């Protein structure tokens, strides 16, 4: 049930464009809370975590124009929607977030070579020391052959090993 | 003794979803975690491993690991699970002879607990091995 300080908002995903989830939210809640609530109602998992998403929140302006990504997700919903030219409609941009080991990054392209993946600032592993694998594969991914990266993709970067002496 | 650098890394890994614990056994620190394995030849999809963390970590690096017993590889013992046996948390753990490749030993600032765990997983996936065990 809506409370006195609640605002009715809508949240949808962008690309793919979903039907909006419409709900009431406390005006004192943060935009991050709004994003989390919207994602939950849309059955979308924010990546890498709901508390620190790489995914982006946009305000949907008049005439369905998509506003720039909102950088301050800590601001209150009420404060935001009281600003001039803002609306109560929001969109979540689902980015191409993927991880290597436990390190998350956003892929700038749908295909990257292992050399490019390892060089991403958020990954930052030396291609001369680390080899990239799919999680359950023993076959190294060739260093300069692009691999497809989709949202949630997982790779493992492993330093080569050697067996010691047998007894 | 649990080195501060290891405590920091373990906390970060936990925040990223890794199940990992640090224990002190008579002054020697171990990181306890689990890694996936290829079935077959291994008889389980995951194994618990213990990584010895030197007191001077991360100035001193990591090498090798202990495998919690029991296990089977091709219905027998693996020829490189052949080191000393220690007791941690009422279980026995055997040292595995698995090291960094020649010329690619531990490098501070680049390698860490996270990368070492994946390096250990390589033993169970038979990948990244620069020599044979037969």
For residue A166, tell me if it sits in a domain: no
pTM, 2 dp: 0.89
pLDDT of residue B76: 96
Task: Report residue B80 as tokens.
Answer: 């490189």
User: Is 0.85 exceeded by the ipTM?
Assistant: yes
Say if residue A74 is in the same domain as residue A145.
no
The H or E element spanning position A147 is strand A147-148
Please report which confidence band the pLDDT of residue A160 belongs to, taking 50, 70 and 90 as the band edges.
Answer: confident
Say if residue A71 is in the same domain as residue A134.
no
Of A48, A101, A163, the CB nearest to B129: A163
Which domain range does residue A133 map to? Answer: 97-159
CA-nearest residue of chain B to A128?
A: B104
> What pLDDT, in 10s, does the model give residues A74-102?
999 999 999 999 999 999 999 999 999 99
CB contact under 8 A, B131 and A163: yes
Distance CA B78, CA A146 (A): 36
Please report which confidence band the pLDDT of residue B106 belongs to, taking 50, 70 and 90 as the band edges.
Answer: confident
For residue A105, tell me if it sits in a domain: yes
A43-52: list long-range contacts, CB under 8 Å, 24+ apart: A44/A13, A44/A92, A44/A94, A46/A92, A47/A94, A47/A95, A47/A97, A47/A104, A47/A151, A47/A152, A48/A97, A48/A99, A48/A104, A48/B16
| pLDDT higher at B109 or A118 | A118
For the cut 80, the answer to whether the pLDDT of residue A1 exceeds it is: no
> What pLDDT, in 10s, does the model give residues B73-103?
999 999 999 999 999 999 999 999 999 988 8
CB contact under 8 A, A162 and B100: yes
- Please give, rounded to a whole number of angstroms, the shortest distance from the CA of A56 to a CA of chain B: 20
Which domain range does residue B23 map to? Answer: 4-125
Residue with tokens 């909006």: A20
In sequence order, the β-bridge partners of residue A131 are A158
For residue A114, tell me if it sits in a domain: yes
Average pLDDT rounded to a whole number, residues A128-134: 95
**Would you list which residues of chain B are within 8 Å, Cβ to Cβ, of chain A?**
13, 16-18, 36, 38, 64, 79-80, 82, 97-102, 104, 107, 110-111, 114-115, 117-119, 121-123, 125-133
Please report which confidence band the pLDDT of residue A52 belongs to, taking 50, 70 and 90 as the band edges.
Answer: very high
CB contact under 8 A, A163 and B107: no
CA-nearest residue of chain B to A102?
A: B16
- The percent of residues in chain B predicted with pLDDT above 70, rounded, is 97
């Amino acid at each position: 049930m809506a409370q006195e300080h609640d605002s009715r908002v809508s949240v949808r995903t962008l690309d793919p464009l979903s039907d909006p989830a419409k709900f009431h939210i406390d005006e004192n809640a943060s935009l991050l809370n709004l994003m989390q609530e919207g994602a939950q109602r849309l059955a979308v998992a924010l990546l890498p975590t709901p508390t620190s998403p790489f995914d982006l929140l946009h305000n949907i302006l008049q005439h369905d124009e998509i506003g720039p990504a909102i950088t301050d997700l800590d601001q209150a919903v009420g404060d935001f929607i009281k600003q001039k030219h803002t609306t109560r409609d929001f969109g979540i941009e689902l980015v191409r977030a993927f991880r290597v080991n436990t390190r998350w990054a956003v892929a700038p392209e749908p295909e990257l070579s292992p050399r490019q993946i390892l060089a991403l600032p958020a990954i930052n592993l030396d291609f001369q020391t680390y080899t990239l694998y799919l999680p359950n594969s023993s076959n190294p991914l060739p260093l300069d052959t692009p691999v497809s990266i989709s949202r949630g993709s997982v790779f493992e970067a492993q330093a080569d090993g050697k067996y010691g002496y047998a007894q | 003794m649990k080195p501060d650098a290891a405590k920091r890394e373990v906390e970060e890994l936990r925040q990223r979803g890794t199940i990992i614990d640090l224990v002190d056994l008579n002054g020697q620190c171990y990181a306890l975690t689990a890694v996936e394995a290829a079935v077959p030849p291994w008889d389980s999809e995951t194994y618990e491993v213990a990584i010895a963390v030197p007191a001077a970590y991360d100035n001193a690096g990591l090498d090798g690991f202990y495998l919690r017993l029991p296990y089977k590889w091709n219905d027998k013992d693996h020829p490189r699970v052949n080191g000393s046996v220690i007791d941690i948390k009422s279980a026995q753990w055997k040292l595995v002879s698995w090291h960094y490749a020649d010329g690619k030993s531990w490098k501070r600032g680049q390698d860490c607990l996270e990368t070492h765990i994946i390096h250990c997983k390589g033993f169970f996936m038979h990948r990244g091995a620069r020599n044979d065990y037969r």
